[in-house]
Amino acid sequence: MTAMTEDTTTPTERDDAPASGDDVVDRILANASSRAGVSVFTPGAAQAIQTTGLGSGTYRGDDHGLGVDGDQFDRDDRQALRRVAGLSTELEDVTEVEYRQLRLENVVLIGVYSQGTLADAENSLRELSALAETAGAVVLDGLLQRRPHPDPSTYLGSGKAIELKNIVASLGADTVIADTELAPSQRRALEDVVKVKVIDRTAVILDIFSQHAKSREGKAQVELAQLEYLLPRLRGWGESMSRQAGGQVGAGNGMGSRGPGETKIELDRRRIHTRMAILRKKIKEMKPAREAKRANRNRNAVPSVAIAGYTNAGKSSLLNRLTRAGVLVENALFATLDATVRKSVTADGRPFTYADTVGFVRNLPHQLVEAFRSTLEEVAESDIIIHVVDGSHPDPEAQLATVRDVIHEVDGREIPEVVVFNKSDLVDDSRRLVLRGLVPDAIFVSARTGEGIDELLARLAEILPRPEVDLDLLVPYDRGEVVARIHDIGRVVDVEYLETGTRVLAKVYPQDAATLQEFAS
Ligand SMILES: Nc1nc2c(ncn2[C@@H]2O[C@H](COP(=O)(O)OP(=O)(O)OP(=O)(O)O)[C@@H](O)[C@H]2O)c(=O)[nH]1
Ligand SMILES: [Mg+2]
């Protein structure tokens, strides 16, 4: 960024300057796979604290470099900033503060809630905390502001934003994560106030996805989602570049906005569009392979059971319990990002498959809906959905609703659903009553202890279709009782009396077919 060579900015302003759009675009286009932490779209800005000398562990109360804009509008909000219990991390001493600053991605979470939805907002912030930790960050604190609506310019009210700045400084945080999808301008404005990197929930989820996607298709879809997210946010980078140029020449928008920043944006935009087109084409080409695989399963008429549910509900653990499949289980959100399919068989011998799926999450970034497609299709085309709910979660009802919404969206409404409350080892009797009230025919299971697994298997066996098997048998004349039995248990299609015995063409269930094997001709 050439505009930065001249020292017309205060140190704070300069440190706050975003990394050039160049870095970001290059990095994502380069499809960096070894990314850690939540530094998705704003590399560089995280150094702000160290270089401005806020790292002494003292609370910095002044507003250097800030206007006191709008402070007076936010009197009411002053009382409304509240900490979410359990998210605060007490810093023991200055050493720890300094230690934390050596590492990137110490985050403070923020959220805005309107009256009456505090519990919901807290749960949402806890989930964001789990997401941030999954992405590799350390959560130092979580703050909620009560407000009828998020502030259109800085998300939090401007007074709160300044408070946040002080909290961030005193904790030695280097990143703020907002529990929403911030408008590009909101992100910039809030960053200008708090002086550290600000990202949003969507960026965190995208980052987790980019760290975890394994298959070629998964990776391509995540990259596409990242570019889609980035595209409207390029203007943010450009604006700040224009602002710098504007400062230099002392002019308004005119010169700055026509400067190199804007040209750069156009260039980036074109490169991004090109890359997105390539990715879309690639993904399209991968589709037939997936459909062929699925068609193959359909042709073999093997029924499928999709294990769906909220992220971290224990889907993979349950699949392991059900099949001993050895699927990756992790106490992190989105441990599973690509569909895993496992073969199994009912107690009476009917084969079927289990498909593990990507966890659902509330407010799924719309860019990622496509990236989910491959596993959602698995759900939409299954014969049964095991809907796993974490019975120990504070708000299972919301989880149930979120997952059902998405299942409906992908036309899975007609598919029989077996609701399973998992982690029952953590659920006491009174809570079971509550859960039972939510879903009367749910099964309580524990992937950990094995409770309820037999009941679940029995329920599946009950619902799974009973495909018939074609048999062509030759039954000796001295075994007439076998022919009688075939009439009992299946449908006899044709009978022919040969020299060596009775030839019977029949359709029976697989488990019975096994017992007639000796007569196969
Ligand atoms: N106490 C207890 N913990 C469980 C149980 N089932 C799973 N867990 C834990 O819950 C966490 C998440 O389990 P996973 O199986 O990875 O959850 P998932 O639904 O597949 O998660 P994603 O793939 O990330 O969406 C892990 O730490 C498991 O050990 C259970 O029955 N009881
Ligand atoms: Mg999983």
100-114 tens-digit pLDDT = 333 347 899 999 988
pTM as predicted? 0.60
Pocket test for ligand 1, best of 312, 336, 337, 379 (most atoms within 8 A of CB): 312
Q: Check residue 458 and give its pLDDT.
A: 92
- Which residue has the CA at smallest separation from atom 5 of ligand 1? 423
Q: Which amino acid is at 43?
A: P
The token pair at 175 is 């990143």
Q: Quickly state the pLDDT bin for 337 (edges 50, 70, 90).
A: low
Question: What are the boundaries of each domain within the chain?
Answer: 37-206, 300-463, 469-519
- Residue 430 phi/psi, 5° resolution? -65, -35
Candidates 256, 228, 255; CA nearest to 240 is 256
337 CA distance to ligand 1 middle (Å): 14
**CA angle, 462 then 312 then 123, to 5°:** 120
Q: How far, in Å, CA of 132 to CA of 197, rounded? A: 14
**Does residue 162 register a pLDDT over 90?**
yes
> Which stretch, 72-81, 210-219, 324-333, 471-480, has highest mean pLDDT?
471-480
Residue 8 pLDDT class (50, 70, 90 cuts): very low
Higher pLDDT, 45 or 380: 380
Pocket lined around ligand 1, Cβ cut-off 6 Å: 309, 311-317, 329-331, 333-336, 359, 422-423, 425-426, 446-448
Question: pLDDT tens digits for 263-283?
Answer: 677 777 888 899 999 988 988
- Total H helices, total E strands in the chain: 20, 14
In this structure, which residue's CA is closest to atom 11 in ligand 1? 331
**Whether 381 contacts 294, CB under 8 Å:** yes
Fold of 37-206: Rossmann fold (3.40.50)
Torsion of CA 262, 265, 270, 272, to 10 degrees: -170
**Which ligand has the minimum distance to the alpha carbon of residue 334?**
1
Residue 402 is predicted with a pLDDT of 82
Among protein residues, the one with the nearest Cα to ligand 1's atom 21 is 312
Residues 372-422 have pLDDT tens digits of 665 566 777 788 999 999 999 888 998 898 888 878 877 778 889 999 999
CA of 204 to the centre of ligand 2 (A): 18
Which residue of 330, 334, 364, 387 sits with most ligand 1 atoms within 8 Å of its CB, as the best mutation to test the pocket?
A: 330
Is the fold of 37-206 the same as that of 300-463?
yes
Identify which of 134, 205, 324, 329 to mutate to test ligand 1's pocket (most ligand atoms within 8 A of the CB): 329
ipTM summary value: 0.98
Topology of the domain comprising 300-463: Rossmann fold (3.40.50)
**At residue 107, what is the residue type?**
V
Tell me what pLDDT residue 385 has.
94
- Residues of the chain by 3-state class (helix, strand, coil), percent to 5: 50, 15, 35
pLDDT at position 16? 39
Percent of the chain with pLDDT over 90: 23
111 bridge partner residues? 144
Structure tokens at 506: 């029949």
φ, ψ of residue 424 to 5 degrees: the values are -65, -20
